[in-house]
Amino acid sequence: MIQDLTTEILRLKEEKDAVILAHYYQVPEVQEIADYVGDSYYLSKIAKDAKQNTIVFCGVRFMAESAKILSPNKTVLLPAAEAGCPMANMASASALLKMKEEYPNAKVVCYINSTTEVKAVSDVCCTSSNALNIINNIEEEEIIFLPDKNLGGHIQKLVPHKKMILWDGCCVTHNKIYKKQIEALKEFYPGAKVLVHPECTEEIRDMADFIGSTGEIIKFGTEDSSDKFIIVTEIGVLHELEKRNPNKKFYAPDNMVCPNMKKTGLEDVYNALKEMKNVITIDEDIRVKAYNALNNMHLLGR
Name the site residues for ligand SF4 (rule: CB under 6 A). 25, 60, 85-87, 113, 171-174, 234, 258, 260-261
Q: Which is nearer to ligand SF4, 12 or 166 (CB)?
A: 166
Q: Please, what is the minimum distance in Å from the beta carbon of residue 87 to ligand SF4?
A: 4
SS (H, E, C) 140-165: CCEEEEECEHHHHHHHHHHCCCCEEE
Is the CB of 100 or the CB of 176 nearer to ligand SF4? 176
Residue nearer to ligand SF4 on the CB measure, 21 or 85? 85
Q: Identify whether the C-beta of residue 50 lies closer than 8 Å to the C-beta of residue 34.
A: no
Q: Where are the beta strands (DSSP E) in 112-232?
A: 124-126, 142-146, 163-166, 193-196, 210-211, 228-232
Closest distance of CB 78 from ligand SF4, Å: 13
Q: What CA–CA distances, in Å, run from 113 to 120, 263, 300?
A: 13, 17, 18
Q: Which is nearer to ligand SF4, 151 or 293 (CB)?
A: 151
By C-beta, is 93 or 172 nearer to ligand SF4? 172
Q: From the CB of 148, what's the least distance to ligand SF4, in Å?
A: 8
φ/ψ of 164, rounded to 5, equals: -100, 125
- Contact call for residues 130 and 146 (beta carbons, < 8 A): no
Comparison of 80 and 87: residue with beta carbon closer to ligand SF4: 87
Whether omega before 147 lies within 30 degrees of 0, making that bond cis, reads yes
Smallest distance, Å, CB 128 to ligand SF4? Answer: 10
Contact by Cβ (8 Å): 214, 25: yes
- Which helix or strand (DSSP H or E) is residue 197 part of? none
Least Å distance, CB 88 to ligand SF4, is: 6
Is 64 in contact with 278 (CB distance < 8 Å)? no
What does the alpha-carbon distance between residue 239 and residue 36 come to, in Å, rounded to a whole number?
A: 14
As measured in angstroms, the least distance from the Cβ of 235 to ligand SF4 is: 10
